[in-house]
Amino acid sequence: QQQVKQSPQSLIVQKGGIPIINCAYENTAFDYFPWYQQFPGKGPALLIAIRPDVSEKKEGRFTISFNKSAKQFSLHIMDSQPGDSATYFCAARDNYGQNFVFGPGTRLSVLP
């Protein structure tokens, strides 16, 4: 129940494409869902986050869609650029323990 599933494991798109990364969870105690972007050799950096009372949140070219009934959420990257090539992690916060559970990550490559 503490798992967050993430797919796909890797993704290759052309510049300008719209990669979509999907995550799913079971634990209804999760109350906050951030996404992190990690470049090789660097720490994960917070990208965008959403609460379950909101169905969509957009920040720049990044959009989170949230489906509370299905317990699924996804990240869309509009007009993707080679500089977006990184590993993306979805996460969920457990409201009881204030702990964060991470998905296994998606390695995105945006081709020029």
* Sites of contact with other proteins (CB under 8 A): 32, 34, 36, 41-46, 49, 89, 93, 97-105
**From the centroid of its chain, how far is CA 18?**
14
Cβ-based nearer residue to other proteins, 19 or 44: 44
**From the centroid of its chain, how far is CA 75?**
5
What's the closest the beta carbon of residue 94 comes to other proteins, in angstroms? 9
What's the closest the beta carbon of residue 87 comes to other proteins, in angstroms? 9
What's the closest the beta carbon of residue 16 comes to other proteins, in angstroms? 27
Q: Which pair of structure tokens corresponds to residue 26?
A: 């079971």
